[in-house]
Amino acid sequence: MQTASLTEYLFMSGLLFAIGLAGVIIRRNIIVIFMCLEMMLAAAALTLIAFSRYHTVNGLPDYDGQMLMFFIITVAAAEVAVGLAIIVALYRARQTVNTEDLTSLKG
């Protein structure tokens, strides 16, 4: 049976990462930018899992890559909780989530 190769998985991961990067550059809503950042993290995770499956140890997948993915998921969840708390605080202070209206640091 024909199966997908490692290169195809890596390419799909790179494509998802590029879409997330495009979203971070194009979008102006800070919540959507945050979602695109999560998507880029997930794309990196796909690369990790693909290499963990490719590099077999004694015929089993290399579980070090999956452990790294496990820690990425945990850190990303903590990051989302803190980031959304910051966004809510920002909205309460400035009444907007549009990055074009948040230019205090520009001087």
Partner 1 sequence: MPTILFYLFALIMIGGGIGVVALKNPVSSALSMIVSFIGLAALFVGLNAYFVGILQILVYTGAVMVLFLFIIMLLDLKKEEEKQFSSSSIAAGVVIPTLLVLQLIAVFQTSDFGNFQAITPESLAMSEQQLDPSIPADSVIRSSMAAENLADRKLPDVNLIGHKLFNEYNLPLQIIAVLLLVATVGCVALSKKLKAKS
Minimum CB separation of residue 51 from partner 1 in Å reads 9
Residue number, 92 or 106, with CB nearest to partner 1: 92
Residue 11, judged by CB atoms within 10 A of its CB (0-12, 13-18, 19+), counts as exposed
Residue number, 58 or 107, with CB nearest to partner 1: 58
Q: Scanning the structure block, which residue is given the tokens 């089993």?
A: 60
Distance in Å from the first CA to the final CA of the chain? 61
d(CA 47, CA 7): 10
Minimum CB separation of residue 101 from partner 1 in Å reads 10
Residue number, 78 or 103, with CB nearest to partner 1: 78
Residue number, 83 or 107, with CB nearest to partner 1: 83
Minimum CB separation of residue 8 from partner 1 in Å reads 7
CA distances from 97 to 14, 45, 70, 83 (A): 29, 28, 31, 13
Minimum CB separation of residue 45 from partner 1 in Å reads 8
